[in-house]
Amino acid sequence: MKALLLVDIQNGFCPGGNLPVPHGDEIVPIANRLIEEGGYDVIVASQDWHPANHGSFASQHPGAKPFEMGELSGQPQVLWPDHCVQETADAEFHPDLNLDAVDYIQQKGDNPAVDSYSAFRDNDQAALTGLAGYLRAQQVTELDVCGLATDYCVKFSALDALDMLPNVKIRFIEDASRGIDPGGVKSAIEAMRARGIGIVSSQEILED
Ligand SMILES: [Zn+2]
């Protein structure tokens, strides 16, 4: 069973959102082609879903500015602008994303005390989201990962997939993803490749 994981393709991470990833919206038509013509049996999407007082927000740390380093759940934490607050337009999926074809939505980041870059578990690895269990139940053997942002939620999701789904072949779809920082994107791709994650293009998948 082949599965596609679409990471955080939400208004908040697209131009006009509260934490825009440069050119983030450009992946939406690519994601839709993968959904429709990629030959996947299972399509899942993650959704960053924060309470308004989430601890990853700079606004919750007196004197802190967005993009400064702070601390959360005992770990260094980038302090973000408020983003993807539950029940706001910023947290909704991009309106052009073909959500009808999505079988399962995994929300994450709802615990104000810890961030959750990965779609699989919180950053302190204490709590699982349930996505690994869902994919196991679907008997998934191959998982392709793409979305926003390459250097944060996509990277952590792909690496956690590798750890938590040991017999599943994991690939990262480079052109169906965008990152925040070019240097961070480069090192994220190197880290994924070094762990054995395949780096592929949507074209390779669509031509298969
Ligand atoms: Zn977030």
118 CA → ligand 1 middle, Å: 10
84 is catalytic: no
SS3 of the chain: helix, strand, coil, percent, to 5: 30, 25, 40
Residue 136 maps to a domain: yes
pLDDT of residue 126: 87
3-state secondary structure of 113: coil
204 CA → ligand 1 middle, Å: 30
Residue 59 maps to a domain: no
Q: Is the pTM of this model over 0.95?
A: yes
67 CA → ligand 1 middle, Å: 12
Residue 139 belongs to domain spanning: 2-50+87-207
Residue 72 maps to a domain: no
58 CA → ligand 1 middle, Å: 12
Residue 77 maps to a domain: no
Residue 74 maps to a domain: no
pLDDT band at 119 (very low <50, low <70, confident <90, very high): very high
Residue 9 maps to a domain: yes
Q: What is the CATH number of the domain that holds 109?
A: 3.40.50.850
Q: How far apart are CA 118 and CA 125, in angstroms?
A: 10
175 is catalytic: no
Q: Region 72-91: what's the mean pLDDT?
A: 96
Q: Region 124-136: what's the mean pLDDT?
A: 95
Report which secondary-structure segment, H or E, holds 178. Answer: strand 169-178
83 CA → ligand 1 middle, Å: 6
- CA 39-201-151 angle, to 5 degrees, is 115
Which of these ranges, 19-28, 84-93, 120-129, 161-170, has the smallest mean pLDDT?
Answer: 120-129
108 is catalytic: yes
pLDDT over threshold 90, residue 193: yes
Task: Give the DSSP letter of residue 54.
Answer: -
Single out the catalytic residue among 90, 108, 151, 160: 108
Residue 143 maps to a domain: yes
- Average pLDDT of the chain is 97
Single out the catalytic residue among 146, 153, 155, 160: 153
140 CA → ligand 1 middle, Å: 27
Contacts of 115 (CB under 8 A, 6+ apart): 54, 55, 56, 72, 73, 77, 109, 122, 123
Structural domain total, the chain: 1
Residue 60 maps to a domain: no
